[in-house]
Chain A
Amino acid sequence: MVAATHSPQTKRRKLYRNLMLAALASLVALSLAYRVSTFPMQWPLTLVLIACAVLAVVQFNALDEVAKQAHYVAWYWGAMSALLAILIIAVAVETGPASQIEGLLTPWLSGATKQTIFLTGLLTAPALMLVGFGGWWLAFWLRRR
């Protein structure tokens, strides 16, 4: 058997994946440090976020076509499913009995500032979209094993 050596493209893909994992780990570490440290973390956090965004573009461009297709399919269907779920939740919250909704939210948000409540609402949508993306991405690869 003639084994092929790792192509430069394969090495680049592995490098970008590892860099992205390192950047995401840094993001988590800085976010946790932000909670306990008095050091102004907004600048390191912003820098790591920008690094993640740049790496995401570089890494995506280096993917092969099947991996790109997995991302397209997962983002389209996963994000669409999440958006539909968000709309259903929004309608349920808006039209449902206010006392029940307050009862559900009170343990989570009692004592929260308006800023926290706003940010929670703001970040819930992309968080659900990411969950949808992850589910569809996994399904794409499981169906093509």
Chain B
Amino acid sequence: MRNRLKVLRAERNWSQADLAERLDVSRQSVNAIETGKYDPSLPLAFKIAVLFGQAIEQIFFTDEAAQAAE
């Protein structure tokens, strides 16, 4: 899975720690999700989507979809 978390975070000028606080997770968890090394659960994905005001599929997408877009 890939995601646009880093871009969305940068647009708001939030650090990983800021985002972690808003999501009630640790900074390490945000980093793991952001770098694609951990796929969040559906509840956490929804929480991220609500926080950024976007649909889940606008934030998270498969490797195939990312390659097709490139």
Contact = CB atoms under 8 A, between A and B. Distances in A.
Interface in B1-28: 12-15, 17-22, 24-26, 28
B31 A65 contact: no
Contacts of A66: 25-26, 28-29, 32-33, 38
B15 A67 contact: no
Contact of B32 (A2, A5, A144): A144
A91 interface: no
B21 to A, nearest CB: 4
A141 B24 contact: no
Given A1-B13, A1-B18, A2-B13, A144 B24 contact: no
Contacts of B38: 66, 69, 144
Nearest to A3: B18
Interface in A44-58: none
Interface string A103-144: 000000000000000000000000000000000000001011
A6 interface: yes
B11 to A, nearest CB: 12
B58 interface: no
> Contact residue range for chain A?
10 to 19
Nearest to A10: B21
B18 A64 contact: no
A145 interface: yes
Task: In the A-B complex, list the 8 residue pairs whose CB atoms are closest, starting with the nearest.
Answer: A4-B21, A66-B29, A64-B25, A144-B32, A144-B37, A9-B24, A4-B18, A1-B13
Given A4-B21, A67-B26, 10 more contacts: A1-B18, A4-B19, A4-B22, A64-B24, A66-B29, A67-B29, A69-B38, A144-B35, A144-B38, A145-B31
Interface of B: 12-15, 17-22, 24-26, 28-29, 31-33, 35, 37-38, 40-41, 44
